[in-house]
Structure 1
Amino acid sequence: MLHTILLIIGTIFIANIKGQSTVKFSSSCTVPICGVSNGGTSGSCSGSAPCFNFQSANETLCAPQVQCSLFDLCISGTRCATNTSICILNSCCSQPICMPRALASACVASNASATVYPPTYVTTTPPPSGVAPDTALVPIRPLSASIRLCNNATWDPNFSIISGADGATGRNATMFSNPYDVFIDQNNMIYVADYGNYRIQKFNTSSAIGTTVASTSPFQPTVIYVDGAETIYSCENAYGVMLYGRVQKYTQGNIYGITLLGGAGKCGAALNQLCGCSGIYADRSGSLYISDSENNRVLLYNTTTGSIALLAGTNGISGSQPDQLSYPGGIYVDENQTLFVLDGLNGRLQKFVSGNRTAISIPGVPMDFLYRNVVPMKGDSMGSLYIGGSYITRLASGSMNMSILFNASLVGSSRYWGNKNFVGVSFDTSGSMYTIANSMLVKLNLLSNTC
């Protein structure tokens, strides 16, 4: 199930995860640049021009070139599974690919809210010599779990402890200090945002001993996202005269990372500033969705072009109207580019259909979202959402109503978790659920899964 990536100058071979034939990217191919006639200049797929005229059988899509591995192959080489994508024939990939129509938004010249900022190195300790270079150019989407989690799936509440201790904190490799999030990658490796210890820890399911893969001081990690290349995208906050936020990117072997957005002394309302980072999600087009909690907004950061756009909320203004947010937290984006945002101080889950700045509210969200807690949100392979807090709740795919899976006071027939929150929810490829409660990283085995 692991992506194998081989970079050879202008050619990228990527093993397809679904058992389909290998997808090949070739720099010798040329595609017309948007706005240039067929008799004019053409742009290489690997060139610096940001936008190209990609062709389907009967229409054109102006979009940036990104890695072939980020897309599904066209069905029978002619069509896509949904109308939110278009079957591109001239992408420079070895076979026709389904490219999301939403990519066109990165190439709209009239989008005045989009500004380009280059990433910068902002670390408290200079990276030592020999640190792995930052070679992961765009996010590679994690593989979906190999098991389909049905809308009525259940888990055994008699959990097993992977690491940590009940109610205890510590700094060694088997302990946590106020952990904020958990993420499982396609290899079933476990990542924990160990907030109080200024680090991100990595575990395998058979060991209680964690390895530090990111050293975040003086920032503290709140929410993390790990892509198919094992690159970590981390929402982090630091406290000085005011709260500062940043988005940090850690490639394998580089525990200090680079700052993509925000940083020390950069709290403000400009698009490249963050005043509190409380949610992050990456999509297959190479974009990061970021909750800037103190500015009451969600930003869209394109890692390919460096452009930043205001996606949801009113910049710096808190409110409860359908187009406003108040301390947004966890975020998730589905296959249709629908954005879900936990709107913290409004105590609601907001659903923004692609291209619409006015949200629909999802009823039944537990009232503990009213507090200023960072509450990560995860989706499964079927598009259902899972949210931590005093409960673990699920919004089944296609539903408009939340359901409670676990109450912290009821989990386990003979074990006491107290009134602590569940921190983060994630799944391995067998469907087992992982969460953190009372400073313990725990696993709940899949009990039933009948669609």
Structure 2
Amino acid sequence: MCPSKTNKINLKWKQNAITVAGGNGQGQQLNQIIGPYGIFIDEKKNIFIADVGNHRIVEWKYNAKQGQIIVGENGYGNRIDQLHFPTHVIVDQQNHSIIIADGSNRRVIQWLNQTQQILIDNIECNGLAMDQHGFLYVSDIVKNEVRRWKMGEYNEEIIVAGGNGQGDQLNKPGFIFVDKDQSVYISDRENHRVMKWKKDATEGRIV
């Protein structure tokens, strides 16, 4: 039996978007960004942005007219207090630390109260994610895989997606998202698709 018309729910997207960060042309001012890449939105709706072209991480408070520099006030470079083309950022909301995929420096770095620590080195990092169990996920665009570490235990890693070379598995995986079941969703960039890898799966499926 078909449901009556009165029970139907009509959903419609708003036709006009609003700008929540930037929108003032590219540049280095606090109300500008250049080539924004990864973003993270916290529980207060504040937006953390990997401002790639400015080699910095900026935070835009909810409804703010300009951002504030969280990381990257020391110019670009490879010192521990510098970034070079950061591609993604997440916030560990347990200790409020900032975790950054510092792309061209080939490292994942953590900032906590202006103290820096390299968590993972020698990795072609691109995307980051963290699950509710305290695991950190990083996509590697050269090895074409997503790896997982337990926060605080970076000597042991597990490949959770890809790892079989470029091609049918993954090809330059970028953004990643992890759900409550620890399934990993991956933007498989050069294969032009989004993949889902369930926990402990040996292959993914197109979603």
Picking from 343, 354, 378, the partner of 2:188 is 343
Residue 161 (structure 1) shift? 2.8
Residue 326 (structure 1) shift? 1.1
Aligned to 1:257: 116
- For the pair 1:356 / 2:201, whether they are aligned, the reply is yes
Contact persistence 1:352–1:358 (CA under 8 A): yes
- For the pair 1:187 / 2:187, whether they are aligned, the reply is no
Q: Distance in 2 between matches of 1:194 and 1:351?
A: 27
Letter in 2 for 1:291: S
- Tell me the secondary structure at the aligned position of residue 206 of structure 1: coil
Contact persistence 2:26–2:33 (CA under 8 A): yes
- For the pair 1:314 / 2:163, whether they are aligned, the reply is yes
Aligned to 1:288: 136
Q: Distance in 2 between matches of 1:233 and 1:153?
A: 36
Aligned to 1:223: 88
Aligned to 1:86: none
Letter in 2 for 1:303: M
Letter in 1 for 2:158: A
Q: Distance in 2 between matches of 1:319 and 1:212?
A: 38
- Count of matched residue pairs: 188
Larger RCO, structure (CA 8 Å, separation 6 or more)? 1
Gaps spanning 5+ residues in structure 2: where?
Answer: 1-9, 78-83
Question: Normalization by structure 2: what TM-score?
Answer: 0.82
Residue 154 (structure 1) shift? 5.0
CA offset digits 1:177-235 (Å, max 9, x no partner): 11112221012222111111111111212321211111183222112212323322211
Question: Normalization by structure 1: what TM-score?
Answer: 0.39
Residue 329 (structure 1) shift? 1.0
Q: How does 1:7-86 map to 2 (within 5 A)?
A: none
Residue 354 (structure 1) shift? 1.1
- For the pair 1:159 / 2:12, whether they are aligned, the reply is no
- Tell me the secondary structure at the aligned position of residue 185 of structure 2: strand
Cα RMSD (Å): 2.0
Aligned to 1:34: none
Picking from 314, 327, 331, the partner of 2:176 is 331
Contact persistence 1:214–1:257 (CA under 8 A): no
Residue 164 (structure 1) shift? 2.1
Structure 1 runs of 4+ off > 3 angstroms?
152-155
Contact persistence 1:278–1:329 (CA under 8 A): yes
